[in-house]
């Protein structure tokens, strides 16, 4: 029987790797904040650059960009969140009543009702978490400061790489990787946010025009599910159609027409226009990322799953070029 020998060097590197994993786990919150800050910076950088082109100093351009974005978010939250939380609860109860009254499908109604209540509670809890995040001042402040400094130091990236690497080829390669990740990730974030806004707005206008109750939460659902192109808006049309059934057949037909119209606009006009400058992901890839993210990290994992995948995919594709 051959004796297996393990060199001291192997033992040393194994211990070093385990220590590295332990330290990584201990500072995971810091790493998460830095990654989210990087995502925000990639999304904001084009706005900062645009302001610089009209003679804003970079510091002031970043400050103005922050004010614009935070102002828009504050106005949106103040305007729709209270109504949204109220209507979401009423909508869930209405869907439960529809299932109980019409005996849809041969499933146990208690099971279906329980699932709908769970989904409703989850949505309401997510909204409350989003609102409650404002109380975590330290985390949000740290995130904003980190985003600010990433944007401030972005023009100096090449200089820092030169100091660290002392190798022109490696410096250019790392810079190329960073720029590729920045461009693709930033383009995807901006594109998805714009798609969500457009699809949600179109859905709200369409449902409001045919007098469907709970147009606001239904439109928000359509916008959020736009994260999974094609599949998301179709799923969002189901509760709207169920609500329409309680009113009249013409309203139900109108709901379906609104859904089809938004879907066609999305596929043929909106997505090609919005995503023409960024590399999108196939719906199945996005769905798999979201499923893995939810499994590993709940709501937070779902939010960061796609950006993480895009970052890893872009880095690997750039490395393979060599």
Q: How far apart are CA 310 and CA 294, in angstroms?
A: 17
- Can you give the pLDDT at residue 107? 47
Q: How far apart are CA 305 and CA 322, in angstroms?
A: 27
DSSP structural state of residue 322: -
- Can you give the pLDDT at residue 232? 65
Q: Which residues contact 41 (CB under 8 A, 6 or more apart)?
A: 147, 150, 151, 154
Task: With 0.85 as the threshold, say if the pTM is over it.
Answer: no
Tens of pLDDT, residue by residue over 222-273, are 888 777 766 667 777 887 787 777 777 888 888 888 888 888 888 778 777 7
For the ranges 59-63, 149-153, 264-268, the lowest mean pLDDT is seen at 264-268
- Can you give the pLDDT at residue 126? 55
Whether 112 shows a pLDDT value over 50: the answer reads no
């Amino acid at each position: 029987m051959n004796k297996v020998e393990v060199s001291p060097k192997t033992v040393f590197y194994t211990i070093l790797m385990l220590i590295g994993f332990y330290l990584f786990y201990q500072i995971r919150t810091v790493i998460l904040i830095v990654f989210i800050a990087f995502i925000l910076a990639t999304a904001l950088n084009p706005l900062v650059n645009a302001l610089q082109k009209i003679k804003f100093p970079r510091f002031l351009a970043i400050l103005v960009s922050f004010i614009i974005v935070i102002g828009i978010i504050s106005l949106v939250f103040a305007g729709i969140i209270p109504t949204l939380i109220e209507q979401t609860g009423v909508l869930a109860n209405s869907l439960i009543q529809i299932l109980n009254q019409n005996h849809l499908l041969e499933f146990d109604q208690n099971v279906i009702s329980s699932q709908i209540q769970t989904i409703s509670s989850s949505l309401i809890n997510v909204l409350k978490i989003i609102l409650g995040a404002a109380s975590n001042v330290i985390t949000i402040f740290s995130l904003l400061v980190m985003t600010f400094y990433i944007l401030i130091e972005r023009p100096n990236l090449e200089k820092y790489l030169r100091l660290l690497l002392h190798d022109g080829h490696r410096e250019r390669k790392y810079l190329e990787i960073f720029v590729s990740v920045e461009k693709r990730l930033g383009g995807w974030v901006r594109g998805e946010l714009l798609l969500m806004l457009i699809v949600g707005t179109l859905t709200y206008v369409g449902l409001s025009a045919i007098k469907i109750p709970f147009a606001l939460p239904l439109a928000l659902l359509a916008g959020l599910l736009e994260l999974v192109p094609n599949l998301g808006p179709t799923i969002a049309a189901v509760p709207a159609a169920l609500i329409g059934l309680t009113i009249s057949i013409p309203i139900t037909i109108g709901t379906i027409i609104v859904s089809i119209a938004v879907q066609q606009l999305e596929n043929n006009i909106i997505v090609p226009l919005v995503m023409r400058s960024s590399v999108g992901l196939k719906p199945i890839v996005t769905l798999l990322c979201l499923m893995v993210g939810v499994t590993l990290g709940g709501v937070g994992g779902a939010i960061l799953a796609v950006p993480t995948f895009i970052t890893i995919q872009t880095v690997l594709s750039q490395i393979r070029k060599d």
